[in-house]
Amino acid sequence: MDPASILLTVGKPPLNPDLLAGLLRWRDWSDHERRVSMLDAGVFRARRDTLQSFILPTLILLWGFGVVAVTAIV
């Protein structure tokens, strides 16, 4: 490389096609992130619904049977 070409390339980042394509798709990426966060919210909502509709009533029933059993023994 001659000194003139070195001076011309100093301070310029190399053109990375992946980086350039990523910058051009940044808006699409933010849309993807929004969709993923909405999906995560749906998963958490489903977990909360499962907890409220199945697990908590089961625990309450088990606790009730335990109270009845302890009361019957005592």
Range 3-8 average pLDDT: 53
Is 69 inside a domain boundary?
A: yes
* pTM of this structure: 0.34
Task: Report the pLDDT value the prediction gives residue 58, as an integer from 0 to 100.
Answer: 86
Collect all residues with Cβ–Cβ distance below 8 Å to 29 and sequence separation of at least 6.
22
* Predicted confidence (pLDDT) per residue in 30-58, tens digit: 565 666 666 666 666 666 666 677 777 88
Task: Report the pLDDT value the prediction gives residue 36, as an integer from 0 to 100.
Answer: 66
Is 23 inside a domain boundary?
A: yes
DSSP for residue 16: -
Higher pLDDT, 10 or 21: 21
Is 45 inside a domain boundary?
A: yes
Q: Which domain holds residue 53?
A: 15-73
Task: Report the pLDDT value the prediction gives residue 50, as an integer from 0 to 100.
Answer: 67
- Alpha-helical (H) ranges within 15-55 are 17-24, 26-50
Range 15-41 average pLDDT: 61
* Residue 23 token pair: 């910058």
Q: At residue 12, what are phi and psi to the nearest 5 degrees?
A: -100, 125
Kindly tell me if the per-residue pLDDT of 59 is higher than 80.
Answer: yes
Is 1 inside a domain boundary?
A: no
